[in-house]
Amino acid sequence: IMYIYRLSHGYEEENNEITIGYFGSWKKARSVMKEYRSSLPGFKDYPKEFSIKKIRVNEDDYYFYD
Q: What distance in Å separates the CA atoms of residue 54 and residue 61, rounded to the nearest whole number?
A: 13
With cut-offs at 50, 70 and 90, classify the pLDDT of residue 46.
confident
pTM for this predicted structure: 0.80
With cut-offs at 50, 70 and 90, classify the pLDDT of residue 63.
low
**Which has more pLDDT, 30 or 65?**
30
**What's the rounded mean pLDDT across residues 24-44?**
94
No. of helices (H) and no. of strands (E), the chain: 1, 3
Instruction: Say what the pLDDT of residue 28 is.
Output: 98
